[in-house]
Amino acid sequence: MHEGCVLDRLAGQRIDTVAVLPCDRTKDLCARIPERFHAVNLLREEDGVGLSAGLALAGGRPAMHIQSSGLGNSLNAIMSLTVTYGLPLPVLASWRGVEKEQIPAQVPFNRALPGVLEALGIPHTVIRRPEEDHLIDLVVSDAYDHCRPHVGLITPSFWEGGDLICPEGEQPLPPRGRVVAVEYCRGIREPEMTRYDAIRAIAPLLDGEAVVANIGVPSKELYAARDRALNFYMLGSYTQASPIGLGLALRTERDVVVLDGDGSLLGSAILPVIAAEGPENLTIVCLDNGAFGSTGNQLTGAYAQVDLELLAVAAGFPATAKAQTAGEIRRAWKERGRGPRFLHVVIRPGNAPVANVPLSPAEIRDRFVRALSQ
């Protein structure tokens, strides 16, 4: 059966983790992926880009399986993260909109997709028939040999004639009944610290942790506060800091800390994925100034509406805390147990007048990878 051939090809290429957001044309493949690999179930395709980046930085061999429409959600992350830092990313995409498509909305983007990928310089390979399954090897090996993305567009005709192993409506599901009990009462005072104040309070507490710093000013402020080889400075890829941290945490025994922001986390669907994966060595630090600090302090929903700690609780984080002073940060850091953990640091808007990070993407990547392996 064709699903088994695909899994055999991935296993032969030493893939260890597959980030998945399913397509109804490949539901049988999706059902079998966990039999052979660590499957991470995504809620947004672009989060798989960050996840795969973190796994690859830590020495893993991830791949993604998504519907081709999801590439439209992922292109900026692929270009600003995967391409910018020279990381491998094989993507097996169920190519919709091109063969016997019944959903009109699938057609416009997917018909143009090969031209889009070509314009961006992203290699792609079309796989149309079961006897072309060897092209999966090409997709994966090219991505890893050249440290770049490579997309395999698998048409519906590839799957025709395969035996269904999980017909619709017959796939067994686990019990869903549960008890949800939450006791939560927090007060948010008028903020005192800026983000740079909070980063300077956190920086001396770092020991052997790998740190992912959010894009823009947060990365610059961390560099100014305490540059370390174990700091991964992001230069782009909005919303991808925590997905990168998740990938790292799944692959390394080190503690991993993500310095993320309220806007980034509100724009992502990664918190439930982190809670479901449950990495005990991961701490998400949400530096919540209630604003898009790198673009002019435009207010986010976190300023006077959303409580990010409560959002993490609802997502399933077992350990959360809130801090608004340097002393509270130190206390929460000292008391943190196993995770995943969420530290909500409420701060006021404002950027420190610090310089850009004077390192190229390759320099950031290489020294981080070396330090991570020591």
Q: pLDDT by residue (tens digit) across 300-354?
A: 999 999 999 999 999 999 999 999 999 999 999 999 888 899 999 999 999 999 9
DSSP-based three-state secondary structure for 90? strand
DSSP 355: P
The number of angstroms, rounded, from the C-alpha of 207 to the middle of its chain's C-alpha atoms is 24
DSSP-based three-state secondary structure for 149? strand
For residue 141, the model assigns a pLDDT of: 98
The number of angstroms, rounded, from the C-alpha of 320 to the middle of its chain's C-alpha atoms is 20
For residue 100, the model assigns a pLDDT of: 86
Per residue in 10-61, pLDDT (tens digit) is 999 999 999 999 998 899 999 999 999 999 999 999 999 999 999 999 999 9
CA angle at 249 for the pair 91 and 333, rounded to the nearest 5°: 145
Contact 27, 94 (CB under 8 A): no
Contact 311, 288 (CB under 8 A): no
For residue 163, the model assigns a pLDDT of: 45
For residue 164, the model assigns a pLDDT of: 42
Which residues on neighbouring strands pair with residue 210, listed in sequence order? 256
For residue 157, the model assigns a pLDDT of: 92
Greater confidence, 4 or 144?
Answer: 144
Which two tokens mark 160?
């025709």
Does the pLDDT at position 162 exceed 80?
Answer: no
Tell me what the mean pLDDT of segment 104-120 comes to: 97
Which pLDDT band, with edges at 50, 70 and 90, does 254 fall under? very high
Contact 173, 219 (CB under 8 A): no
How many Å apart are CA 124 and CA 139, to the nearest integer? 8
How many Å apart are CA 63 and CA 40, to the nearest integer? 10
Does the pLDDT at position 96 exceed 90?
Answer: yes
Contact 260, 284 (CB under 8 A): yes
Q: Any idea which of 95-104, 164-173, 282-291, 323-332 has the lowest mean pLDDT?
A: 164-173
Does the pLDDT at position 360 exceed 90?
Answer: yes
Does the pLDDT at position 167 exceed 70?
Answer: no
Fold of 195-373: Rossmann fold (3.40.50)
Does the pLDDT at position 4 exceed 80?
Answer: yes
For residue 172, the model assigns a pLDDT of: 79
* C-alpha R_g of the chain: 21
Which two tokens mark 332?
């929460």
Ordered by start, the domain boundaries in the chain are: 2-158, 195-373
**341-346/291-292 β-pairing:** unpaired
Find, among 331, 311, 352, 365, the residue nearest to 302 by Cα.
Answer: 311
Per residue in 194-224, pLDDT (tens digit) is 999 999 999 999 999 999 999 999 999 999 9
Contact 247, 50 (CB under 8 A): yes
Does the pLDDT at position 237 exceed 60?
Answer: yes
Which residues on neighbouring strands pair with residue 261, listed in sequence order? 287
Q: What global pTM score does this model have?
A: 0.95
CATH number belonging to the domain at 2-158, selected among 3.30.70.270, 3.40.50.970, 1.10.10.60, 3.40.1080.10 = 3.40.50.970
CA of 246: how far to CAs of 52, 154, 212, in Å?
A: 9, 28, 10
Does the pLDDT at position 1 exceed 70?
Answer: no
Within this chain, domains 2-158 and 195-373 share the same CATH topology? yes
pLDDT, averaged across the chain: 94
Q: What percent of the chain has pLDDT over 70?
A: 97
How many Å apart are CA 322 and CA 193, to the nearest integer? 14
Contact 62, 15 (CB under 8 A): yes
CB atoms under 10 Å from CB of 338, counted, come to 13
Q: What percent of the chain has pLDDT over 90?
A: 89
Contact 326, 348 (CB under 8 A): no
Which pLDDT band, with edges at 50, 70 and 90, does 166 fall under? very low
How many Å apart are CA 30 and CA 166, to the nearest integer? 10
Greater confidence, 169 or 279?
Answer: 279
Find, among 147, 140, 151, the residue nearest to 56 by Cα.
Answer: 147
Q: Which residue has the tokens 């999980």?
A: 166
